[in-house]
Structure 1
Amino acid sequence: MRTTARKAIVILIDGLSADYFEQHRANLPHLCALASQGLHVQRLRSPVPATSMPGRVSMITGEPSQRHGVFGNHVFDGQSFRCAMPSDIVVPTIAQRARATGLNVASVGYAMVRPEHTDFYYPAWWLRSFMQHSRFAKALNESVVSHLLSSRHSFEEMGVPGGEPEEAASRTADRSLELMRGAACDQRIVRMIAALACSDSPPDLILGEIALPDHIQHLYGFESEAAHWSLSTADLLVGFLLHRLELAGRREDYVVAVTSDHGHSPISTAIYPDVVLGAALWQSEGATLHVAVRDSLHRREVERRLLEVGAEPMDGSHIPAGIRDCIATFAAPDRHSFEQSPNDHDGLTPSGPPAAISSHGLRPGAPADDRFCVFAGPSVIQSEVPDEAAEWFCPTLARMLGLPGGSQEESLA
């Protein structure tokens, strides 16, 4: 019999590293307060590679990349690298498990959850462009953005109180306005989460995401003023959610978990695999590179070329066993990443200035890829844990929800 004593809200802040929190916690007062009140994992390690989709999926499955099937933002289908999708996850997710036991599940802007495993589903505001094979960056999904920013319609769909009507932002190529629209979407996502949690029928599990900080850091840099702004804004959104729960008398109903999918680190040089490898099929995962290889001879030739630019072979243990022989994996040197060469490139120089001046997916175990993580709420005992593996998050959340697989107190002491 299920013994649920708690509900849970999970907020993923994309790109919030353990290092950033420790160095700038004074600028993150709401996260700092949660860390002082709850179970704070100082360094939640990332799966390999430390990129967005593996990081999210490790959180909701409790499995490493080679087991859950999402070994990068892009996976190999035998012919090409394509964007990872929820259908690529080959093990049960926390949403699927929770709903199977009768819990009510909502996914609000959290990528890599199947709609059919939820009672309420709203897509990530950047999801369509990413899923349509945007190889190197997330981008605004115009239909979702317009829906989020135009009216109270999102709230009316839920049957819960909403906010004031807003005019949809006009389409524009201007980067500053696009980023402002992304911030507005993050705000509306958190407002939707708060509205659900404070409604007459609050879900047992809500999964949500604050997406913009990762994009900001890629563009403007780790510890840039823009990064400080985006992460401080994310902290304010967490504070807003907590305040709404307090006002509604729901704060004691929910464990609030805040974490990230990966860290971030400054990048000074981009290696161009299209120049180094010619016609080879490859996919960048930040500072990790996947290359499709035909056989052992081809693998050796790829290794030779990449060693010449300082990249080192990885053992590939994060690749699912069935395709491991088809993929060669490499780690970039310190402060390097892998990118497509720019359009005006001479086609000869193997490296140059990076488009993303901060990135992740570093060599396995790199501290800069470690992420922030905290659980706070009713019956969560205040404690500091130096580090945990990525796979720790899901079973801990499951025990707090009372799902089968262990006593709730195991993860709270």
Structure 2
Amino acid sequence: MNMNAESKQNRHVVIISIDGMANYYLQDPNVRMPNVRRLIGSGVVAAGMESVFPTATWAIHSSMVTGTYPRKHGVLGNWTVERPKHRVGEFFGDRMYDQPDVLRCETWYDAAKRAGWTTASICWPVTRGAKNIDFNIPEFYEQELFDSLCTASYWEELKATGLPMERYGEWSRDHARGPMQDWLTTEIAKYTIRIHRPNLLQLHYLLPDSLQHDYGIRSKEAYWSLEYVDERIGDVLKALEDNDLHDMTDVFVVSDHGFVDTTKTFYPNVLFRQKGWFNTEQPGRSQVIAVSNGGSGFVYVLEEDPDRRAALVAEVRQTLQRAEGVGRLFEQEQFPALGLPAPGELDTFRPDFAFEADMDSFVHFGHEGDEVIRPLTKFKGMHGYLPQRDELKAIFVAAGPSIQAGVTLPEIRLVDIAPTIARLIGVELGSADGSALDQIWKEEMQLGKLYSAQR
């Protein structure tokens, strides 16, 4: 299904992810996003988009690019426990794992390379060491990771332009300088469009997520962050126009999850410590440990003796069922319905229990102190809860030469995006759980006509 050289040169796709933009913002008159609204007017918007559980960035972006649920692609959350090594597995910040070692399904950028396309990625989660991204800057937070693990020639090329690449890590970590980080992402995208003209470009903006964590939903800071990111999207669209790519580029603007306000913090490891199950000196050697994915958590029973383990699982279940702060508790038999691995699947990272916190609570890793539930929270806004909740619904917008104008889709699933992108590339993702949104194509661009030459 490889495209010929001429058709490849004239096909481009840009995917922009806005971290933390809830679908309810599209109906909010206080949100000024003229560039996104212009795309909606000339293209397609979904009434809403159901994300995946947990509604945490690293799991979601893995589902986004593969069209599969975490059960299949393998990245279960921002944090897990890696059972064989008795350590917390940190996907957040791409600090621990290379993409080929943890992401188990074909992505849209893998499919693009299979079709002979050039690929670029800026600040996208779970891309460290990705073999099929030609120009790659993963989502890191430490400068040393940027300096050592981005595409080396690309990184040096960007430094030579005078862009402040040496500040990317610092600006990524510091929410107060988050606008500079998203500005730098945009400047890199503009340069990459002008010089390299990749067939597929994916980029990820962080500011709305950061400022909603700090100030809460519908705060003045949240509204400003959305307007700021919209301006940066306008810069990317102008770069396409300035480089004669606008008429051959399909643009997708999506988000990963919505947000709710939080007022309390739940500390499951304090509860487990009080039960004598949590090892404060060596947390990975605990009998029971919880990790947070924001508004939800995973609980691991690490006791290895079969009889003691069975008794402990029963006691942990009872403890969680009674715990203030646990809104809904899920056992392994319920995991497949959540998109999580069933017993016998992904044994390295699969928890024994998953839970959704009360909707006003944030789940914290910490084990210090005596209060399991505490008023106030580190974050004023949070995500991680069940994706079926309206507050957690994400956005989907698409416009371009292949896409109809003035169409509103019913609610879609986040896992539908990757099969749709693959159709534009002219290939199929065999492992996808989602379905291509074939109703968005212009009549003259129906797949049988559009891709007949490629097949």
TM-score (norm 2): 0.77
Q: How far off its partner does 1:179 sit?
A: 2.8
**Partners of 1:333 and 1:39 in 2: CA distance:** 35
Q: What are the residue-to-residue correspondences of 1:308-387 with 2, within 5 Å? A: 308-311=323-326, 312-314=328-330, 315-317=334-336, 318-321=339-342, 322=345, 323=347, 326-341=351-366, 345=369, 347-382=370-405, 383-387=407-411
Q: How far off its partner does 1:341 sit?
A: 4.7
| Contact preservation (8 Å) 1:16, 1:263 | yes
Q: What are the residue-to-residue correspondences of 1:51-130 with 2, within 5 Å? A: 51-78=56-83, 79-84=86-91, 85=97, 86=99, 87-113=101-127, 114-124=129-139, 127=140
Return closer, same or farther for 1:282/1:410 CA change in 2, 3 Å cut-off: same
Q: How far off its partner does 1:177 sit?
A: 10
**Partners of 1:69 and 1:92 in 2: CA distance:** 12
Q: How far off its partner does 1:302 sit?
A: 2.1
Alignment-mate amino acid for residue 131 of structure 2 = E
Q: How far off its partner does 1:299 sit?
A: 2.7
**Partners of 2:121 and 2:199 in 1: CA distance:** 11
Q: How far off its partner does 1:46 sit?
A: 0.8
Q: What are the residue-to-residue correspondences of 1:295-306 with 2, within 5 Å? A: 295-306=309-320
**Secondary structure, aligned partner of 1:331:** strand
Alignment-mate amino acid for residue 141 of structure 1 = E
* Cα offsets for 1:198-223 (capped at 9, x unmatched): 33x41111111112221221111111
After superposing the two structures, state which structure 1 stretch, 374-383 or 295-304, moved more. Answer: 295-304
Q: How far off its partner does 1:168 sit?
A: 6.4
**Partners of 1:144 and 1:22 in 2: CA distance:** 39
1:412 is aligned, of 438, 441, 449, to: 441
Q: Which residue of 1 aligns with 2:284?
A: none
**Secondary structure, aligned partner of 1:117:** coil
1:249 is aligned, of 244, 248, 262, to: 244
2:190 is aligned, of 187, 191, 194, to: 194
Q: Which residue of 2 aligns with 1:2?
A: 2
| Contact preservation (8 Å) 1:81, 1:282 | no
* Cα offsets for 1:223-246 (capped at 9, x unmatched): 112211212111110011112222
| Contact preservation (8 Å) 1:74, 1:83 | yes
Return closer, same or farther for 1:232/1:297 CA change in 2, 3 Å cut-off: farther
After superposing the two structures, state which structure 1 stretch, 403-412 or 351-360, moved more. Answer: 403-412
After superposing the two structures, state which structure 1 stretch, 53-62 or 303-312, moved more. Answer: 303-312
Alignment-mate amino acid for residue 252 of structure 1 = D
**Partners of 1:60 and 1:166 in 2: CA distance:** 29
**Partners of 2:381 and 2:424 in 1: CA distance:** 35
Unaligned runs of 5+ in 2: 92-96, 279-287, 304-308, 430-434, 443-455
Percent identity, aligned pairs only? 23
Q: How far off its partner does 1:6 sit?
A: 2.7
* Cα offsets for 1:377-405 (capped at 9, x unmatched): 11210211121112100001111222246
Q: Tell me if 1:398 matches 2:403.
A: no
Q: Which residue of 2 aligns with 1:285?
A: 293
**Partners of 1:80 and 1:165 in 2: CA distance:** 37
Tell which structure's C-alpha radius of gyration is larger: 2
**Secondary structure, aligned partner of 1:190:** helix
**Partners of 2:292 and 2:21 in 1: CA distance:** 21
Q: How far off its partner does 1:167 sit?
A: 10
Count of aligned pairs: 387
After superposing the two structures, state which structure 1 stretch, 220-229 or 52-61, moved more. Answer: 220-229
2:259 is aligned, of 259, 264, 278, to: 264
2:413 is aligned, of 365, 389, 397, to: 389
**Partners of 1:165 and 1:391 in 2: CA distance:** 35
Alignment-mate amino acid for residue 116 of structure 1 = K
| Contact preservation (8 Å) 1:186, 1:212 | yes
| Contact preservation (8 Å) 1:158, 1:196 | no
**Partners of 1:89 and 1:176 in 2: CA distance:** 24
Return closer, same or farther for 1:244/1:176 CA change in 2, 3 Å cut-off: closer
TM-score (norm 1): 0.84
**Partners of 2:138 and 2:105 in 1: CA distance:** 21
Q: How far off its partner does 1:166 sit?
A: 5.6
Unaligned runs of 5+ in 1: 128-139, 148-152
**Partners of 1:380 and 1:371 in 2: CA distance:** 20
Return closer, same or farther for 1:183/1:342 CA change in 2, 3 Å cut-off: farther
Q: How far off its partner does 1:24 sit?
A: 4.4
Return closer, same or farther for 1:119/1:154 CA change in 2, 3 Å cut-off: closer
**Partners of 1:98 and 1:274 in 2: CA distance:** 43
Q: How far off its partner does 1:263 sit?
A: 1.2
Alignment-mate amino acid for residue 396 of structure 2 = C
**Secondary structure, aligned partner of 1:305:** helix
Q: How far off its partner does 1:69 sit?
A: 0.8
After superposing the two structures, state which structure 1 stretch, 175-184 or 238-247, moved more. Answer: 175-184
**Partners of 1:42 and 1:171 in 2: CA distance:** 36
| Contact preservation (8 Å) 1:67, 1:91 | yes
Alignment-mate amino acid for residue 329 of structure 2 = P
Alignment-mate amino acid for residue 372 of structure 1 = I
**Secondary structure, aligned partner of 1:27:** coil
After superposing the two structures, state which structure 1 stretch, 393-402 or 361-370, moved more. Answer: 361-370
| Contact preservation (8 Å) 1:196, 1:203 | yes
**Partners of 1:166 and 1:287 in 2: CA distance:** 35
| Contact preservation (8 Å) 1:198, 1:250 | no
Return closer, same or farther for 1:195/1:155 CA change in 2, 3 Å cut-off: farther
